[in-house]
Amino acid sequence: MTPGDSPGTADACIVPGCGGAAVRHLALAEARRAFDDLPEKGRHAPLCREHYRVWKKATKDSRQLDRLGR
């Protein structure tokens, strides 16, 4: 357990069919940019490491343009 973690707060990945341990939480709208079939469940989308990397690669160009202000 790392500092700041509290016991019993491990979430499962929101991508259907995965169920891996979540390492990142994104806004649901942000996660939908890469995954169309996410369930309507809350405001946050917990993602496992593998699906976070998929999201990161799928949205790389648009995130870069957002940082540049275009």
State the number of CA atoms in the 13 A half-sphere of 31 facing the CB.
23
What's 65's DSSP letter?
A: H
Q: What is the pTM of this model?
A: 0.78
Strand partners, 44: 27
pLDDT averaged over every residue in the chain: 87
H-helix segments, the chain = 28-31, 49-58, 60-68
Q: Specify the pLDDT at position 6.
A: 52
Chain centroid offset of residue 9 CA = 16
Summarize the confidence of residues 60-67 as an average pLDDT.
90
Q: Is the pLDDT of residue 1 over 50?
A: no
Instruction: Tell the residue number behind the tokens 């940019």, with chain if given.
Output: 33
